[in-house]
Amino acid sequence: MSDDLETLREQTVQALAAATDMREWDAVRVGTLGKSGRLTALLKELGRMTPDARRQRGGALNRLRDELSRLIEARGQELETAALNARLAAERVDVTLPCAPQAEGLLHPITRTIEEMTAIFGAMGFQLAEGPDIESDWHNFSALNTPAHHPARTDQDTFYLPAVAEGQPERVLRTQTSGVQIRTMLGKEPPIRIIAPGRTYRADHDATHSPMFHQCEGLVIEKGITLGHLKGCLSDFLRAFFQMPDLPVRFRASYFPFTEPSMEIDIGWSRKTGQIGTGGDWLEVLGAGMVHPRVLANCGLDAREWQGFAFGMGIERLTMLRHGIPDLRSFYESDVRWLRHYGTSPLSPALLHEGL
């Protein structure tokens, strides 16, 4: 290799060693192999040489070009690796540091109560059923044997909506989830065992009533169902829900148009202290009864073959009793402080084997 080529090689190697980043490296590469680079200029001079000199000089230049290309490429990879390592070191995240605290969301007490009811009745073989919030007058009243003169059908108690089309009956915001029972009996062959929790609407608003509230109704239709099955089912539910195996439960005669006989269910309660399960007083918590034969007939079922019982309870009412909440309106005020106090972790499922 001639002296000028050896000098070019040594200068290029020294410049590559002195390059500390990719910008300086690229300047060496362009200054050597670029269009105006020193080696490129030497290659352009080959055209002015004799054939023998061009052959000898061209071979030396090609060997130098290959060597310098390898050196430049290797140095570029070294600098890229060094830059990446430096970036990783500078941007390293210390995973041992504690994470920033995050506010924990909580389940609303109504949601939790519905989950617990579903778990308890689910263990008894009940299925969950749902229906529309806007019902026809027939599903909400007529099919349930509610007479036309019944006070519940007046504008003072029920929210009526315009009919879908002229000549059709008015619609209502359902006053109870009993319409789900009717839809289930119409659409499913017995035996039937369902609960229907959901929103209901009535024209009432005070400390113990709300125009929108939640109910959970249940229905059992099977052959040979008796009042004893009703009493056993609801006694077991109340004792499991309030977590009191010896909770006093009383069944008291009452009247509902869709059941016969009808009854209201009371639990032991102290009027003085408000404590459940103690004292000599009684507190009504839900209504129930054997399904009226007319209701069965309205749904196409023969009362001589099928019998059943139905029940209904206010979810807010049971939640208030369970947690000692004094005012129904606080359920809907969206007070985060109230929810932090009465809310439940979503990571704590309502399962019977966890000790409901």
Identify the three-state secondary structure at position 17: helix
- The rounded Cα 27 to chain-centroid distance in angstroms is 58
Q: Which two tokens stand for residue 102?
A: 């995050």
The DSSP element (H or E) to which 57 belongs, if any, is helix 51-90
Residues annotated in a binding site for Mg(2+): 260
Residues annotated in a binding site: 260
Whole-number Cα distances in Å, 300 to 126, 141, 184, 256: 22, 17, 12, 21
How far apart are the C-alpha atoms of 131 and 138, rounded to whole Å? 14
- DSSP annotation of 149 reads T
259, 277, 255, 260: which is closest to 268 by C-alpha?
277
Neighbours of 71 (CB within 10 A): 17
The tally of CA atoms less than 13 A away on the side-chain side of residue 12 is: 26
Residue type, 221: I
How far apart are the C-alpha atoms of 276 and 283, rounded to whole Å? 9
Neighbours of 200 (CB within 10 A): 23
How far apart are the C-alpha atoms of 38 and 211, rounded to whole Å? 90
Contacts of 64 (CB under 8 A, 6+ apart): 1, 5, 8, 9, 39
The tally of CA atoms less than 13 A away on the side-chain side of residue 136 is: 11
CB-CB contact of 46 with 5 (8 Å): no
